[in-house]
Amino acid sequence: MENKSKGNAIALLPILVFLVLYLGLGILFEYVLKIPMGFYNIPIVVTFIVALLVACLQNKKVSFDDKLEIMGKGVGDKNIITMILIFLFAGMFVGVVGRSSAESVAYFMLSIIPAKFSVAVLFVVACLVSVAMGTSVGTITLITPIAVAVSTASGFALPLCIASVMGGAMFGDNLSFISDTTIAACNGQGCQMKDKFRENFWIALPAAIVTLILVLVVSLRAYEGGAVINEYNLIQIIPYALVLIGGIVGINVFVVLIIGIVSGTIIMLATGATQATDILANMGAGAAGMFETTMVAILVAAICALIANYGGFDALLAFIKKVFKGKKGGQLGMGLLVVAMDIATANNTVAIVISNPIAKEMSEDYGISNKKAASILDTFSCVAQGIIPYGAQMLVAISATAALGYEISAFQIIPYLFYPYILLLSSLLFIFVIPERKEKEAK
């Protein structure tokens, strides 16, 4: 059955078809037809099915039955199955716990910290909430209305407040144990989440600290007085804290999520936040919310299995090796690969899933550890996703602001997106300077 030919560039056609369809229709919907959130009106599963059909029509030397077997092996890979199960468990957890605790964190911190530091509080809260919730879009949806209230009450520039929330949201998206980007990167590269977290933490933390300082410097000059006060309930944060702590200490991710689901169920029932009759329905809704991400993982696994069999990845790797030399060059090439996929798809999880098989082979050829590869994929995809004006994060922030009667454009927000820019600089520093220093010390 093995029909793999060395350097068959035409085998990459399915990826090109997907990118042209998705990016082309996205531009048409968003900028020509002026459809709100146009990129997210395109059924991404359908575009991947078209790409899969293209892959099936290629290489007539391989029978269709053999192609089905190749796809079955790709989808049945241990890492793919693990990733899908984690997606479902994470969805159930979020469905049970809900998102009301996010607002509690924000209002609690705003109540105990002087109002002149409110923009910095927004950034820190967005960091904490997104780490706990595992979703940057969900964090932005919840915290943006609070950012608008802070801007109105205290006189801070609205773009600065919104950008601070977006930056914090991307921090957590990059680090959270239940983030779909983390799940996709870790399982695609075959590394433990705790190892990827530790690798990422020392890249993301300095970027977050520098961002916090910049936010303070910019915002303190604009404070006009006034504060935002509201009720909060911190008990509901406990399940998120348990998941975070369990992940950091290295408990199996399934055990951690089950602990989160059980503790969340108990707390939500005890506080009266959820009725007993709604718990199972909420679990089902949470798992169902992962449907598209799960289907994308399955379809991409099938497509990539065929591309690899046809020799497409060999051709791509040969090209990458000509352009990027050495271990450092390989890491940069891996980062640019996922950035290109993210710019094309406007979805960092999809970008990682597409890049995973190529990055896996790159890590073996360039001698890059699995945890480093997972860290690079997640970090660079978050950099791109945190900046592009047509990404879900930006569109949701603008939409949530508009719903409150305030008009703002992506290009007003982009100059204040300190965190993605600094995260990129931090990532490059860890590629070209710090890893080499550590290797020398170890010898």
Question: C-alpha 337: how far from its chain's center?
Answer: 16
Q: Is the pLDDT of residue 346 over 90?
A: no
State how far the Cα of 350 lies from the Cα of 53, in Å rounded to an integer: 19
Q: What is the pLDDT of residue 69?
A: 94
Higher pLDDT, 297 or 443: 297
Note the pLDDT of residue 122: 92
The CA distance from 118 to 78, in Å, is 46
Average pLDDT of span 74-84:
81
CA distance 266 to 96: 10
Rounded to a whole number of angstroms, the distance between the first and last alpha carbons of the chain is 45
Q: What is the pLDDT of residue 187?
A: 85
Name which residue leads in pLDDT, 83 or 9.
9
HEC sequence for the chain: CCCCCCCCHHHHHHHHHHHHHHHHHHHHHHHHCCCCCHHHHCCHHHHHHHHHHHHHHCCCCCCHHHHHHHHHHHHCCHHHHHHHHHHHHHHHHHHHHCCHHHHHHHHHHHHHCCHHHHHHHHHHHHHHHHHHHCCHHHHHHHHHHHHHHHHHHHCCCHHHHHHHHHHHHHHHHHHCCCCHHHHHHHHHHCCCHHHHHHHHHHHHHHHHHHHHHHHHHHHHCCCCCCCCCCCCCHHHHHHHHHHHHHHHHCCCHHHHHHHHHHHHHHHHHHCCCCCHHHHHHHHHHHHHCCHHHHHHHHHHHHHHHHHHHHCHHHHHHHHHHHHCCHHHHHHHHHHHHHHHHHHHHCCHHHHHHHHHHHHHHHHHHHCCCHHHHHHHHHHHHHHHHCCCCCCHHHHHHHHHHHHCCCCCCHHHHHHHCHHHHHHHHHHHHHHHCHHHHHHHHHC
- On average, the pLDDT of the chain sits at 84
Average pLDDT over residues 388-394: 79
Lowest mean pLDDT among 29-43, 163-177, 268-282: 29-43
Sign of the four-CA dihedral 384, 288, 23, 55 = positive
- 61 Cβ neighbours under 8 A, 6+ residues apart: 3
Domain boundaries, the chain: 9-442
Instruction: Tell me the average pLDDT across 47-54.
Output: 92
Rg of the chain (C-alpha set): 22
Q: What is the pLDDT of residue 56?
A: 94
Mean of pLDDT values over 335-359: 84
pTM of the model: 0.76
